[in-house]
Structure formats: C-alpha cells, structure tokens
Chain A
C-alpha cells in the first residue's frame, strides 16, 4: 500500500494546485465579464443621475456629484425637451413590440406545426424558403419597403413596421422551432390523434405547451428585434402621432445641448420592458437549455 501511494502524493498536490488555479482563473474571468457587461450600463446611469441637463462629460467621480433623480422626474412628467410626448411614444413602441412578438409566435408556430408535425412533405422546405428572406439583410430593404407600404396604403402606419419586423423575425423563429420540435417525438401527437383530437386541438393542447422553451426564445427574440430597430421606425413612421422612442433618437443626436440626463433616464426606462420579459421567461429558456442535456 505505502509503496503504491507514495508516488501519488505529489501528483495529487499538483492536481489540487491546478484546481485552485482554475478556480482563480474562473473568478478573474467572471469579474472581467461583469465589468465588460455593465460598463455601458453604468455610463447610462452616470449621465441619467447627473443633476445638470447636458452633462455628458466624465468628471472623474465614480458617482455623479450631487446625484439626483431629476432626469427621471423630467421624463416621467414629460417636462424635458424632446420628451414632451414620451409616454405616447413609449406606448407606440410597446404596441409595435408586443404585436411583433405575438404575431411572430403565432404565425411561425402555426407554420412550423403544419410542416413539422403534420408530415407535409419535407420540413426542410419551409426553413429553406423562409431563410431566403435573409438573402438581403433587413436594412437593405428599408427603402423598397417604404415604397411598397405606400402602395399597400400603409404609409405612416404602425402596422407597416410590425409587418417588417414579423417578416424579419420569422425565418430565425422557424429555424429554432423546427430544430426544437425535432426533440419531441411525433408519437405524442399520434396518440392524441388516435384519441380523437383534431389538428387544432393537438396544436393548442400539446404542441404549444411542449414547445414553451423554444417559444420563449422566439418571443424574446421578436420583441428585441422590434425594440432594437431604429431604421424602419424612422423611415416608415413620419407623423408625430406614430413616432416611437427609438425613432426619435436622431433628432437629439444632432443637438449638442439636448437634455442628456433626461435622455439617458428615458433610455433606462425604455430598456425595462425587454428586461421584464426576459426575467419572466428566463425559467423557460433555462428549461430549454436543460432539455438538450436530458435528451443527450
């Protein structure tokens, strides 16, 4: 015994030392990622909490001198310049974002169900056709879109933006749904059909609940696509009535004296809905991440 153990001791010590080094490395990496992810967010708060309107300079203080919530106050009460209609614009953004999200989830889940679960030929055809949408990136199509929407009678209409966002969210959504759908055995559908369920019932009662993790990712993705968009909202919406938070940004960017603390406070408020959605759906996303593991 002692003969066998003696040469092992240094090896074990080396192993333990390497383990400690790995842990330290992981901690440093974690810290670096934390700083990397949050510095721009910190910058947003730094400007938003500054009591002076146009203050975008970094004064060397890690916390703004005399930090105040005046910026947020001016946004909420709509007293800040450029933000007189903040809540209406916020409502418009929310309308476009939520409609994009719901329609994308509905349309792509129906199509994926029909092709992937009803055994209509090869399911690859739908994904392939959908991906042809990406033959030209979305931003390349904004000018043709503007002209076409005019022809459809949808100029200066939020539905034009929703249509664009749904179109560009769908191919990726279908890709995700098709691949995730393959993890679920078709026999589940078959047994329900034998019990007399119609196609619609299988879709509502079996497909949608089982696909929840993939649908959660699609929903977040679609909302973020609409939320991140500037170009389509700027080009397709022209009247003040339909302007969105995102579409108004360029006016301010040209103005050096814009009330930047209120602007950044507005930006932080604008960031909240996707964060809330992400928090609400995170457990489904996490479940989706685990499912692959169980399957494997």
Chain B
C-alpha cells in the first residue's frame, strides 16, 4: 500500500485533476462493460416482458369510460370501495404500529424471547390460503373455535361473525394482521439493530429511558424506514386477494368484498374481464401518488433497511 501511496504522491499533480466526476465513479470499458450489461440483461428482460407490458395491457383493457359508468351504477362497487379503504387504512396502520412496538420487545436478550421470535414467525411461513381457511372455520359461528371458547369461558353467545358486514371486515383485518405482522416485525428488528448503541447510551445519560427513549431516539431513527414500509404495505394490501376471499369469502352476500375480490367476481362469475380490470384500476388515482412518494423517499437515500 505504501508503494502505491508513494507513487501517487510522486506523480505530477496535473494527472490527478482530469475531468471532474463524482467520487467513486469511473468509466466502464471493455470487458467490464460487457459483464455489466450481461448481468443486468436478465432482469431488464423480465421487467419489460412481465411488468411493463402487463401494466400497459391492463391500462388498455380498462380504457373504456363506459366501464366506469357501469361500476358506479353497481351498489356492490361502492360497498367494496369503502371496504377496501377500511381494510387498508386500519389493517396497514395497526399492523405497522404493532410491528414497530413488538420489534422492540424482540430486541430483549433472554433465551425465551429468541425462541419466541421463531414461533412468532410461524404465521408468515405458513401458506396464506390454508391459514385463512383455518380462520374461516374458527369464526364460522357457534360451531367455531372462537365462539366455543367464548361461551365456555364467559357464557356469552358469540356472534355469527360473517353475518354482519362490520364484523366480517373486522375478522378479515385481524386475519390479515396475524399473517403479515411477523414479516414487518423482522424488518423493523433489522432496522433497530442498525441504530448505533451510542445514541441510546447518550440518551440514557440525559435521563431518557423507557417510553421517552422510544419517542426521542427510536422513532426519529426509524421514521424513514417506517414510512417506506407503510407505503409498500399499502400497495401490497390494496392488491390483497386471499384474505377476503378465504376468511369471510366476501360474506354476507359480498358485503365485505374488496376491489380485488369484486374484480374476480366480475371476471369469472359475470364473465366480464374488462369490467373486472376496470374495478381494480379504479384504485389507480390512489396508487400513483403513493408510488411517486415511495420513489422520492428512496431517491433521497436516507432510508436504511
């Protein structure tokens, strides 16, 4: 290393100047350029063939304004729009907040907390369709596990969950949180371990412990990650199909349907795929700002996973 340093020091100063480039940047040439292109090519091909083209095709399928008039005239559409809003707004926020808080709990170093983390990840690892069918049987009314335990413990006759619109939506949201909270807890856990210990030590010297430490150190350090994850989760949850389709099955009589399951009904039961795609596309005005915000957040380069 010293010899290189000496060589650089001995070389004429002018050769170091050259054209100005950002540090760490250099031109690719020859075989390096070929390798780089070859490495990117597979993903570029996948992206163009299976992402750009389908998105364009979907927009083209849903281009007819008459489709949206049909949607607006269908009372089921308005219902499912409200349901989607509730499902996403409550589901994502409750899940994210609980995941953030619980990631703090899983930082504890006790052996049983580490073992518990393993069990806690089980919902994420179990396939969603089967898990949601289990939820469906658990809540099937007085024959279900939940009402059975409820009446055995307290004597209260539990409701028939899927016979009420709001209860059915609540069941969907709970099943959704059960399934996806562990994944985000893991992400926040990784984010928390990346917070320098020094900050916590300094906060402790200043007398910040417990909740105050959480508010004044953890929250500012994780704010960007939290926002990024929430935005991603909103997009994924808007597209969530399995939860509603298998937990409440849209019941009672499609009163708890969301846009994706309604689009599915239009496509397969009414054999009207264009209307199905249009029902889902109607979420686009909400999606575009979210994606733009997501990209800008990432571009700022502040987010650390």
Partners in one complex: yes
- Interface set of A (CB-CB < 8 Å, partner B): 26, 29-30, 33-34, 36-41, 43-44, 46-47, 56-60, 106-108, 110-111, 113-115, 118-120, 124, 126-141, 143-145, 147-148, 152, 163-164, 166-167, 170, 172, 174-176, 179-180, 186, 198-200, 203, 220, 224, 227-228, 230-231, 246, 249, 253, 260, 263-264, 267, 270-271, 274-275, 278, 282, 285, 288-290, 292-293, 295-296
Residues A186 and B24 in contact, CB atoms below 8 Å apart: yes
Task: Please indicate the chain A residues that have their CB under 8 angstroms from the CB of B97 in the complex.
Answer: none
Would you call B47 an interface residue if the criterion is a C-beta within 8 Å of the partner chain's C-beta atoms?
yes
Pick the residue among B42, B112, B113, B242 that contacts A230 (CB under 8 A).
Answer: B242
Residues A133 and B51 in contact, CB atoms below 8 Å apart: yes
Would you call B227 an interface residue if the criterion is a C-beta within 8 Å of the partner chain's C-beta atoms?
no
Please give me the residue from chain B that is nearest to A252 by CB atom. Answer: B133
Per the bound structure, the CA–CA distance linking A129 and B295 in Å amounts to 9
Chain B residues numbered 113-159 whose CB sits less than 8 Å from any CB in chain A: 113, 116, 118-131, 133-135, 137-138, 140, 143-145, 147-149, 152
Per the bound structure, the CA–CA distance linking A290 and B194 in Å amounts to 8
Query: Which of B12-20, B63-71, B230-238 touches A?
Result: B230-238
Report A33 CB to chain B, min CB distance, Å: 6
Please give me the residue from chain B that is nearest to A194 by CB atom. Answer: B4
Most buried by A among B112, B134, B140, B245: B134
Chain B residues numbered 16-56 whose CB sits less than 8 Å from any CB in chain A: 24-26, 28, 31-32, 35-37, 39-40, 42-44, 46-47, 49-51, 53-55
Number of interface residues of B (CB under 8 A): 105
Residues A119 and B116 in contact, CB atoms below 8 Å apart: no
Would you call B189 an interface residue if the criterion is a C-beta within 8 Å of the partner chain's C-beta atoms?
yes
The interface bits of chain B over 53-91 (1 if a CB of A lies within 8 angstroms of the residue's CB, else 0) are: 111011001000000000000000000000000000000
Pick the residue among B24, B46, B143 that contacts A56 (CB under 8 A).
Answer: B143
Per the bound structure, the CA–CA distance linking A107 and B47 in Å amounts to 11
Residues B291 and A199 in contact, CB atoms below 8 Å apart: no
Per the bound structure, the CA–CA distance linking A275 and B275 in Å amounts to 39
Task: Please indicate the chain A residues that have their CB under 8 angstroms from the CB of B175 in the complex.
Answer: 40
Contact of A145 with B54 at beta-carbon distance under 8 Å, contacts A43-B137, A111-B40, A267-B127 already known: yes
Residues A118 and B238 in contact, CB atoms below 8 Å apart: no
Residues B39 and A203 in contact, CB atoms below 8 Å apart: yes
Task: Please indicate the chain B residues that have their CB under 8 angstroms from the CB of A113 in the complex.
Answer: 39
Would you call B196 an interface residue if the criterion is a C-beta within 8 Å of the partner chain's C-beta atoms?
yes
Task: Please indicate the chain B residues that have their CB under 8 angstroms from the CB of A41 in the complex.
Answer: 122, 126, 131, 134
Per the bound structure, the CA–CA distance linking A129 and B284 in Å amounts to 18
Would you call B173 an interface residue if the criterion is a C-beta within 8 Å of the partner chain's C-beta atoms?
no
Residues A139 and B260 in contact, CB atoms below 8 Å apart: yes
Residues B298 and A135 in contact, CB atoms below 8 Å apart: no
In the A-B complex, list the 7 residue pairs whose CB atoms are closest, starting with the nearest. Answer: A137-B239, A292-B194, A267-B130, A114-B39, A199-B35, A58-B148, A111-B43
Most buried by A among B26, B121, B249: B121
Would you call B270 an interface residue if the criterion is a C-beta within 8 Å of the partner chain's C-beta atoms?
no
Report A50 CB to chain B, min CB distance, Å: 11
Residues A228 and B129 in contact, CB atoms below 8 Å apart: yes
